[in-house]
């Protein structure tokens, strides 16, 4: 058989990489190979396929025998579906003011999910029981949205990582108030790589009720999953996923990507590499006079403060984003395909621009 013909042409330089987002990276070759394996022939639509069925076994190997995965299209969809599943129409979610669900999802939790977010300022993106208590009150006050869920991100939007003990303390505190705990795990693999523990250690074993499991930022083409860890306390996920327009007809192509990442150690290899590149970047940046690293570098993100004009010149050479443009804060992200040469070239360019 002749190879399939394509008229597609490459419109970019595959050797160019930046530090704007791990979403900029392509698809890991092993994931692409898995997609090819899943292609061909007919499989039942809407999740009744062999790949989605097998994914459940893979998920349980990481999160325990009660876990169930509900693949979705993207991270915002995963978060909105998950939070809807554990809130009533009058319910609210307590989260950090820097949380992705608050600042980067276009109001989707509020407008699509109908969920009130109760935000708490944090010094490093991490909630604590004491910080949660700033909004954990008024359950009998009909004039106030009822706190029903605590949502944390692992790793956080500021690149910091909760320890298992910190998550366990949050879960115990939330559950004592009758609230459930959701984890936004778009970079859950990066956190596990930093902690060097299994995924279950800081999820179901710590008391987490459900989580959003990321794939796109760790080498997938597209697709995430809501993972329910407490099936007795989290119901109607199938209906909510469809209602929220997150039910894929050809779900096998989402499931097989997550399987490719999680069935062996690809998820961990990718995350460890991205984290190592962030550490290399942080070490190089620390040697540049006049540049300040803002938060502990615990995953694959480096947040820094430098003169605004330097960042603007540097952005003409490398893509990255301002985090707080008024303060001069920027964010540099590393991905599974970031190379040591990428990092060293960027640090050299930073030194040049700072010396001008």
User: For 46-89, how does the pLDDT look when each residue is reduced to its tens digit (9 = 90+)?
Assistant: 999 999 999 999 999 999 999 999 999 999 999 999 999 999 99
CA dihedral 120, 126, 129, 132 (to 10 degrees): 20
Query: Which residues lie closer than 8 Å to 98 by C-beta, 6 or more apart?
Result: 122, 125, 156, 157, 158
The arithmetic mean of pLDDT across residues 160-188, rounded, is: 98
Does residue 145 contact residue 112 with C-beta atoms inside 8 Å? no
Split at pLDDT 50, 70, 90, the class of 235 is confident
Residue 174 carries which DSSP code? H
What's the mean pLDDT in 162-185?
A: 98
Percentage of the chain modeled with pLDDT above 90: 95
Q: Give the model's pLDDT for residue 6.
A: 75
Residue 8: is its pLDDT beyond 90? Answer: no
For 187, residues 6+ apart whose C-beta sits below 8 A from its C-beta are 22, 153, 154, 155, 214, 217, 218, 271, 299, 300
Beta carbons of 115 and 87 less than 8 angstroms apart: yes
Q: What is the pLDDT of residue 295?
A: 97
Between CA 292 and CA 306 the distance in angstroms is 7
* pLDDT for the residue 1: 53
- Lowest-confidence pick of 22-31, 148-157, 167-176, 230-239: 230-239
CATH architecture of 29-262: 3-Layer(aba) Sandwich (3.40)
Beta-carbon contacts of 18 under 8 Å, excluding residues fewer than 6 positions away, are: 24, 318, 319, 320
Give the CA count within 13 Å in the CB-facing half-sphere of 339: 7
pLDDT of residue 309: 97
CB atoms within 10 A of CB 260: 25
Cα(29)–Cα(169) distance, rounded to whole angstroms?
Answer: 39
- In this prediction, residue 7 carries a pLDDT of 80
* Model pLDDT for residues 187-218, shown as the tens digit of each residue: 999 999 999 999 999 999 999 999 999 999 99
**CATH code of the domain occupying 266-355:** 3.90.1150.10
Mark out the alpha helices in the chain (DSSP H runs).
29-38, 50-63, 75-85, 100-103, 108-111, 129-132, 164-176, 188-195, 237-243, 252-262, 266-286, 308-315, 340-355
Task: Using the predicted structure, report yes or no on whether residue 164 has a pLDDT greater than 70.
Answer: yes
- For residues 222 and 59, the answer to whether their CB atoms sit within 8 Å is no
Domain ranges of the chain: 29-262, 266-355
Q: Among candidates 209, 229, 217, which has minimal Cα distance to 86?
A: 209
Give CA–CA dist 193/328, Å, rounded: 30
Residue range 98-115: average pLDDT? 96
Mean pLDDT across the chain: 96
CA dihedral (150, 206, 122, 319) positive or negative: negative
Q: Which two structure tokens, joined as six digits, stand for 55?
A: 């994914």
Does pLDDT of 3 surpass 80?
no
Beta partners for residue 91, in sequence order: 146
What's the pLDDT tens digit per position in 303-340? 999 999 999 999 999 999 999 999 999 999 999 999 99
Q: Backbone phi, then psi, for 237, in 5-degree steps?
A: -65, -40
pLDDT in tens, 111-124: 999 999 999 999 99
User: Which residues 6+ apart lie within 8 Å of 194 measured at CB?
Assistant: 155, 161, 275, 298, 299
230 DSSP assignment:
-
């Amino acid at each position: 058989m002749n190879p399939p013909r394509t008229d597609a042409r490459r419109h970019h330089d595959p050797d160019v990489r930046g530090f704007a987002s791990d979403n900029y990276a392509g698809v890991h070759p092993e994931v692409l190979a898995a997609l090819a394996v899943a292609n061909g022939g007919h499989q039942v639509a809407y999740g009744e396929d062999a790949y989605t069925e097998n994914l459940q076994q893979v998920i349980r190997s990481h999160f325990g025998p009660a876990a169930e995965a509900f693949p979705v299209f993207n991270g915002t969809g995963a978060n909105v579906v998950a939070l809807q599943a554990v809130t009533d129409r009058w319910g609210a979610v307590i989260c950090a003011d820097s949380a992705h669900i608050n600042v980067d999802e276009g109001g989707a939790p509020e407008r699509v999910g109908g969920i009130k977010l109760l935000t708490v300022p944090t010094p490093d993106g991490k909630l604590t029981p004491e910080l949660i208590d700033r909004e954990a009150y008024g359950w009998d006050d009909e004039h106030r949205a009822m706190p029903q869920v605590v949502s944390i991100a692992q790793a956080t939007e500021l690149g910091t990582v909760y320890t298992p003990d910190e998550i366990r303390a949050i879960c115990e505190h939330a559950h004592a108030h009758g609230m459930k705990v959701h984890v936004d795990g778009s970079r859950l693999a990066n956190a596990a790589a930093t902690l060097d523990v299994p995924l279950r250690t800081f999820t179901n074993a710590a008391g987490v009720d459900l989580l959003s499991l990321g794939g796109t930022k760790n080498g997938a083409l597209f697709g995430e999953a809501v993972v329910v860890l407490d099936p007795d306390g989290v119901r109607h996920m199938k209906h909510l996923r469809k209602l929220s327009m997150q039910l894929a007809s050809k779900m096998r192509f989402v499931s097989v990507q997550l399987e490719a990442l999680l069935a062996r150690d690809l998820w961990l290899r990718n995350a460890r590499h991205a984290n190592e590149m962030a550490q290399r970047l942080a070490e190089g940046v620390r040697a540049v006079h006049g540049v300040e690293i803002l938060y502990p570098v615990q995953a694959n993100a480096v947040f820094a403060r430098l003169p605004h004009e330097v960042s603007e010149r540097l952005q003409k050479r490398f893509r990255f984003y301002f985090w707080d443009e008024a303060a001069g804060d920027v964010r540099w992200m590393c991905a599974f395909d970031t190379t040591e040469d990428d990092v060293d070239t960027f640090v050299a360019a930073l030194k040049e621009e700072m010396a001008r």
